[in-house]
Structure 1
């Protein structure tokens, strides 16, 4: 036990080597926790998925700097990863639950007109929408666009009109 204390330190006063060793261990544990949470935790970037990134960073940093005890900190981080995995699993099985925790798309443009109320709700200005249109579709107006959506991850997507 004394060797472990010498290697990793105790409390908040560690040497550079001790804190570096803690960081290595936390890095490995974080990789394992992210595998438990699933790939979507970094792929989807919805608020539901961003929660795990923020919480794991906040919780696990405490173990690196010694602000909290090591084992309870790892236990709390594991609970967060497992909750994320369970939430994603239930969200994939049940559309209502999925919409509740992951959000839903918001229609910003359809039937040839801007959906002003939805744009206000999504905090998207006309200027924002036109900027996204130019950068992602390389067009200046909505003549070739069927619809536009703010996706649950915050990105704006466009659907082209079908060629007639």
Structure 2
């Protein structure tokens, strides 16, 4: 149960490599938060965890190995959180920055498409903000995947 098939440092190396690779892949894949996943995207995330499980443990099923991997992943997550809290450049690189999707009642469809935002999502954001398209000053895709609508000031 506690006998490890691999040396302890290999678990840390495996955990760090998989964590950083997934961080990059998820960052590249888009801006959705868990609550905004489509069923397909949720399935991909679930399969990712299954797909990398052997690369983390190297087929070691010991409790010690699992605890080392868990500690490594939590430590890396804390380090990334600390880095992004202290460095604006790191936060922009890891978390992303807002993207302008439209201005003055016009949606930038080329930007919308490149960010993989549907017209329905824009309409839903406008509806939630109780704003019609002609009253929209700006619409942003936030770094966390949410859509923010700013209304024009009443004249």
In the superposition, the TM-score normalised over structure 2's length comes to 0.57
Runs of 4 or more consecutive aligned structure 1 residues displaced over 4 Å after TM superposition: none
Counterpart for residue 130 of structure 2: 138
1: distance between equivalents of 2:150 and 2:112? 17
- Secondary structure class of the residue paired with 1:124: coil
Aligned counterpart, 1:151: 142
**How far apart are the structure 1 equivalents of 2:108 and 2:101?**
5
User: Do residues 80 (structure 1) and 73 (structure 2) align?
Assistant: yes
Q: How does 1:104-115 map to 2 (within 5 A)?
A: 104-115=97-108
Distance 1:138-1:111 versus aligned 2 partners, 3 A rule: closer
Counterpart mapping for 1:44-63 below 5 A = 45=33
- Structure 1 residue 90 displacement after superposition: 0.9
Unaligned runs of 5+ in 1: 6-44
1:10-61 Cα shifts (integer Å, max 9, x gaps):
xxxxxxxxxxxxxxxxxxxxxxxxxxxxxxxxxxx48xxxx9xx86xx86xx
Normalised by the length of structure 1, the TM-score is 0.55
Q: CA RMSD, aligned part only?
A: 3.2
- Structure number with higher relative contact order (C-alpha < 8 Å, ≥ 6 residues apart): 2
d(CA) in 2 for partners of 1:104, 1:130: 22
1:114, 1:108 → 2: CA distance?
A: 6
Q: Find the residue that maps to 1:147 and give its secondary structure.
A: strand
Corresponding position: 1:98 with 2:78 = no
